Amino acid sequence: MAIERRTLLMGAVAGVAAGVMMALPKAATAATEGSLAPLPNRPAPISVKERTDRVRKAQALMRQHGFSAIVMEPGASMVYFSGIKWRRNERPTCVIIPAEGDIGVVTPFFEEPSVRETLEVPADVRTWLEHEDAMSVVAGWLRDHKSASGVVGFEETVRYFLIDGLTKALPSATVRNGAAVVRGCRLVKTPAEIALMQYATDITIAAYRYTIPRVEAGMRPEDINAIMNRAHVGYGGVSQFEDALIGEAAAYPHGSEKPQIVRPGEIVLMDCGCSVDGYQSDISRTFVFGSPSKRQREVWDQVKKGQAIAFEKAQIGVAAGDVDAAVRVYYQSLGYGPDYKLPGLSHRTGHGIGLDGHEPFNLVKNETSKLAPGMCFSDEPGLYIPGEFGVRLEDCFHMTEAGPKWFSTPSVSIEQPV
């Protein structure tokens, strides 16, 4: 069986593997053939000063928007402001940013030593015991910091039972969505954040270069995913997702439960990402195992042009929705859609990215937010043809004063996906 699979590989994958290897520079070829070792020149982690500056910026925005405090629970925003890497469960851990002064941390008594391990900024830490109400402790912290009668904002992903709990424990406070403050900080990335995202992207590209030539006839999605996962970790990333879709399953952006195996002439769509110090990559590549058909090549080339149109439209001051609209005008001229109808582009053109794989705001219809330096987005206007296949090419970019700049170089051709 192994001999048969190797024979099939030599014939069927020759077009993809040879094309990929010819296109790669010497360093990339070595990465494909050699051992899996962390990529060089890993950027420095986010500094304590930068994290402190984030808190001060949040406080300036809070005063501007009339907030006396912002409350958040474990997740990317807690990491962003405090460094605390924790998990959400039924026992609340909260970070509180007051309009002035150091942050507060409220956590279970027995979790305090663990929570302090990743705390990177000055903080007033308070604990609660198992028989106590955590949100009453949060309310007490707010009273002690003169926020009991003010406007308390919640980070927008906080679970309702925490909001409800504080409302009952502190009825004198006005509760509002704190997105204006948190987004106002997180939307624009600093050079240190950009560097970590670039390194994560470099890892995912190296992992694709390692994985694609190793795809063999008869493989299932989980086989391909396992190779990509191994490369992500080997090159120094923390795996976030590896998702291979084969044949007709590629027509459904997030896959199908139907059995899939690699066969000659079959589309393989891969969507993969990793993180470095929490900062994420998100890259999709589509190729054919063997020789592509005229139809596959035509659709692939259309998506490549759609991706280029989005990138060219993404200029400083342009509304995010206009980027999406530019792609849809082109696709509709080819007979796809209109709008989100299939065959065509059934999802947004792109999404924000950073500490979360999907962040506000999106490159999507009617989004009026304007692009500004430091913002980061995916560019992935796929085409999906139910009953046949789908093609998605996804690369991320960040906005500079001069316009968009790729984190990863887009695919050259269907034969040279990386």
Q: pLDDT by residue (tens digit) across 104-162?
A: 999 999 999 999 999 999 999 999 999 999 999 999 999 999 998 999 999 999 999 99
Cis amide bond preceding 154, omega within 30: no
Angle at 109 between CA 103 and CA 111, to 5 degrees: 80
Model-level pTM?
Answer: 0.90
Per DSSP, 156 falls in state T
Q: Report, as an integer, the average pLDDT of 292-302.
A: 98
Angle at 264 between CA 262 and CA 270, to 5 degrees: 45
Q: Report, as an integer, the average pLDDT of 335-346.
A: 98
pLDDT computed for residue 257 by the predictor: 84
pLDDT computed for residue 256 by the predictor: 85
Residue 237: name the closest of 24, 21, 43, 32 by CA.
43
- Under the banding of pLDDT at 50, 70 and 90, the label for residue 34 is low
Cis amide bond preceding 381, omega within 30: no
Contacts of 113 by beta carbon, 8 Å cutoff, 6+ apart: none
Q: What is the mean pLDDT of the chain?
A: 92
pLDDT computed for residue 255 by the predictor: 81
Contacts of 224 by beta carbon, 8 Å cutoff, 6+ apart: 211, 215, 242, 244, 262, 268, 270
Residue 102: pLDDT over 80: yes
Contacts of 271 by beta carbon, 8 Å cutoff, 6+ apart: 241, 243, 245, 282, 283, 284, 392, 394
For 126, the 3-state DSSP assignment is strand
Pinpoint the alpha helices (H) of 290-405: 294-313, 320-333
Q: And the tokens for 295?
A: 């139809």
Residue 13: pLDDT over 90: no
Residues 381 and 242: beta-carbon distance below 8 Å: no
| Residue where the block lists tokens 């001060």 | 56
Residues 174 and 150: beta-carbon distance below 8 Å: yes
Other CB atoms within 10 Å distance of the CB of residue 113:
9
- Give me the DSSP letters along 323-382: HHHHHHHHHHHTT--STT-SSB--S-SEEE-SSSSSEEEEE-TT--PBP-TT-EEEE---
In angstroms, the CA 300 to CA 415 distance is 10
Residue 207: name the closest of 256, 253, 276 by CA.
276
Residue 23: pLDDT over 90: no
Q: Are strands 69-72 and 123-128 parallel, antiparallel or unpaired?
A: unpaired
Q: And the tokens for 18?
A: 């040879």
Residue 32: name the closest of 41, 22, 44 by CA.
22
CB hemisphere CA count around 255 (13 angstroms): 14
CB hemisphere CA count around 83 (13 angstroms): 20
Beta pairing partners, 175: 152
Residue 63: what residue type? R
Residues 326 and 310: beta-carbon distance below 8 Å: yes
Residue 122: what residue type? P
Percent above pLDDT 90 for the chain: 90
In angstroms, the CA 81 to CA 77 distance is 6
Per DSSP, 278 falls in state T
Q: Would you give the distance in Å from CA 169 to the centre of its chain? A: 36
**Could you report the per-residue pLDDT of 69-90, keeping only the tens digit for each?**
999 999 999 999 999 999 999 9
- The region of weakest confidence among 21-30, 258-267, 268-277 is 21-30
CB hemisphere CA count around 282 (13 angstroms): 23
Residues 137 and 126: beta-carbon distance below 8 Å: yes
CA-to-CA dists, residue 403 to 311, 313, 317, angstroms: 9, 9, 10
In angstroms, the CA 372 to CA 316 distance is 5
